[in-house]
Structure 1
Amino acid sequence: MPGLSETERAGCAEILMFMPKSSLLSLCDTVTNKLIAVENITEATETILSFTKNAEELLRRKKVHRELIFKYLAKKGLMMPPSSEKHQLVKRTLELWSRGGVDTPGQAVVDESLQGETNGTRQRLSRETASDSSDMTAEVGFDPLVLGQQFCQWFFQLLNSQNLSLGQQPQDWGPQHFWPDVKLRLLSRAGSAQMDEFLGAELVSLRLLALTREERLFLSPNLEPQGLRALASPHGLVLVAVAGTIHRDAACLGIFEQIFGLIRSPLEDNTWKIKFINLKIRGQDAVGETELAAPALSYNASELQLLCS
């Protein structure tokens, strides 16, 4: 029997840690055909790993739910679309392990198809996609959508790393990523609607931090075409709009739509900083199953253009 590599064994063990004790013991009975009795979680985990022929076999077990694999990939910093099916998550996990992705616990692994910025405080475009000009629409090769993908990859990895329940090393979150006069408008609809506004880099930074650190939320952006749009004005403002799902542990709580206004700071190595954020959150009882499976932006192009003007 080939068995698991060290990388696969470590990864499978992490996924099994997310399972309730009853499910873990039941899975152990399935894997061993009830021939081995175990008394605790540690014994069950070790037995499952020892009797598993290969990683794909274990991941495809019915008791290893899609949500567990999704949570594992999120913990590793891999932002998969919330509508991903289990076989897609399994494939992505196996690809990660083939690169030895669990050999450095807590290190974020970036999806190569959306390679973004990972140096903490910087959201800098590559030299091929931006120059030092303040008129972004005139820049050769500048694509607002590329910036939007890179920014969202960076921002949500950074924010989600503050959720201690994911077991990640928190990255460098703080007011330094915002303009001093940044404004946050937060509209939440869970039963009744509530609108709050926050002004200033310190307050906005702390309110967003509370979503993940205190409320233990995980925001998963939908970076597919229906969930992401970006516009650029001739005055230096880039508008990035994204939709996604909100999770706590293995539960999906609802969806969000978030609009960012970004302006580049020429005094700080041309890094991009956040000028304003409009965040709309809807609880699961306020959305349908279709919306929850693949959240899409409800804003049309004209509405976004008005914000960008």
Structure 2
Amino acid sequence: MSGLPKTDADRGSKLLRLISDHDLLALSDTVTNKMIAVGSAEEAIRAIITYSKSSEELLKRKKVHRDVIFKYLANEGIVMPVNSEKHQLVKTTLEYWSSSKICQKSPADNDHVSSNAMGDGLSDLVTLGRQFCEWFFQLWNSQNPTVEQAPQEWGPQHFWGDVRLRLRAITGEENMEEFSGADLVSLRLQALPREECLLFNPNLEPQGLRTLSSAHGLVVVAVAGTIHRAQGCLGLFEQVFGLIRSPMDNNSWKIKFIDLKIRSQNSIEGTKEMDSPELTYTSSELQLLCS
């Protein structure tokens, strides 16, 4: 019995610790067919991980309740709609565990958007855009003090020195802020999750994510999503990133510009848009940013 792969085993153990001791012992009996006697919650977790045939089988167990998976994802900085069904949470968890294996980096790599984490970059723009967003939003959301995880290393090292941020907030009226320079941009972005306790949930499906590139090495990643605080959905966002490799930093990707548009819920008509936010930028508009 080989059990789960090590990376899944580590994450599965973290998830299982959110389950009550009573349910853990019952789950251990189910998974091991009562062939393994356990005397504590930690022993039960080890038995469950060892004798589970796959991550999907583990997550679909009845004792791994929907609320447990929802809380686990929230603790990891992955925000899901509060009415998500268990099968949707299982799918997101499996995708997260899979992408984490692809994007796993040594501590020394965490200072930058690692080129290794996103392949050779331009050979598969769809993969590049998705993996960049998975990396960025996990890092960004981890700055929120209400998320039960240590904040990852945020700072100006992820940006070009002359990076530009344009932030538009549409509530009843539209407010515009602009910042330039790695230090200012880094601090302003960090304040959104850290000071305002916002969580950003990107829609990484085709209607919510688009990636384009120019002949000069600029890659534009555009993504739409929902904004949350605690259990409430506050509105929608669209965010456009410009990425360029840095030959001075192991050819890793760094952020050249960000356009962030936020719309409050009261400025949005209907609920369908909230369920599956889509990009409103056209391909031609994004191509202009590449020029």
Q: TM-score if structure 1 supplies the norm length?
A: 0.69
Q: Which residue of 2 aligns with 1:184?
A: 165
Using the alignment, how far apart are the partners of 2:17 and 2:200 within structure 1? 25
> Of 98, 102, 111, which aligns to 2:97?
111
2:112 corresponds to 1:122: yes
Q: Which residue of 1 aligns with 2:18?
A: 11
Cα gap change, 1:9/1:177 in structure 2, threshold over 3 Å: closer, same or farther?
closer
Cα gap change, 1:147/1:9 in structure 2, threshold over 3 Å: closer, same or farther?
closer
Residue 238 of structure 2 contacts residue 279 of structure 2 at CA under 8 Å; is this kept in 1? Answer: yes
Structure 1 runs of 4+ off > 6 angstroms?
Answer: 5-8
Q: Which residue of 1 aligns with 2:197?
A: 216
Residue 83 of structure 1 contacts residue 294 of structure 1 at CA under 8 Å; is this kept in 2? Answer: no
Using the alignment, how far apart are the partners of 1:154 and 1:260 within structure 2? 13
For residues 233-275 of structure 1, the C-alpha deviation after alignment (integer angstroms, 9 at most, x for no partner) is 0101000000111010111111100000000001110111000
> Of 154, 160, 170, which aligns to 1:173?
154
2:72 is aligned with what amino acid?
Y
Task: Report matched runs for 1:21-170 at 5 Å.
Answer: 56=62, 59=65, 64=67, 69-77=69-77, 79=78, 82=81, 85-92=84-91, 110-112=96-98, 115-118=102-105, 119-126=109-116, 129-130=119-120, 142-170=123-151
Cα gap change, 1:88/1:233 in structure 2, threshold over 3 Å: closer, same or farther?
same
Secondary structure, aligned partner of 2:196: coil
1:72 is aligned with what amino acid?
Y
Cα gap change, 1:301/1:88 in structure 2, threshold over 3 Å: closer, same or farther?
same
Q: Which residue of 1 aligns with 2:242?
A: 261
Using the alignment, how far apart are the partners of 2:176 and 2:162 within structure 1? 19
Using the alignment, how far apart are the partners of 2:16 and 2:199 within structure 1? 26
Using the alignment, how far apart are the partners of 1:10 and 1:302 within structure 2? 48
Cα gap change, 1:117/1:283 in structure 2, threshold over 3 Å: closer, same or farther?
farther
For residues 45-73 of structure 1, the C-alpha deviation after alignment (integer angstroms, 9 at most, x for no partner) is xxxxxxxxx9635725xxx5xxx853531
Residue 165 of structure 2 contacts residue 180 of structure 2 at CA under 8 Å; is this kept in 1? Answer: yes
2:276 corresponds to 1:307: no
> Of 257, 274, 279, which aligns to 1:297?
279
For residues 69-120 of structure 1, the C-alpha deviation after alignment (integer angstroms, 9 at most, x for no partner) is 535313125x476598312245358x77xxxxxxxxxxxx943157435552
Secondary structure, aligned partner of 2:103: coil
Using the alignment, how far apart are the partners of 2:290 and 2:143 within structure 1? 30
Residue 110 of structure 1 contacts residue 116 of structure 1 at CA under 8 Å; is this kept in 2? Answer: no
Aligned residues: 237
Residue 187 of structure 1 contacts residue 280 of structure 1 at CA under 8 Å; is this kept in 2? Answer: yes
Secondary structure, aligned partner of 2:110: coil
Residue 81 of structure 1 contacts residue 223 of structure 1 at CA under 8 Å; is this kept in 2? Answer: no
Residue 118 of structure 2 contacts residue 132 of structure 2 at CA under 8 Å; is this kept in 1? Answer: no
Specify every segment of 5 or more residues in structure 1 that has no aligned partner in the other structure, as ranges: 14-53, 97-108, 137-141
Specify every segment of 5 or more residues in structure 2 that has no aligned partner in the other structure, as ranges: 1-11, 21-59
Q: Which residue of 2 aligns with 1:32?
A: none
The alignment-based identity, stated in percent, is 52
Cα gap change, 1:7/1:175 in structure 2, threshold over 3 Å: closer, same or farther?
closer
2:190 corresponds to 1:196: no
2:230 corresponds to 1:249: yes
Cα gap change, 1:212/1:8 in structure 2, threshold over 3 Å: closer, same or farther?
closer
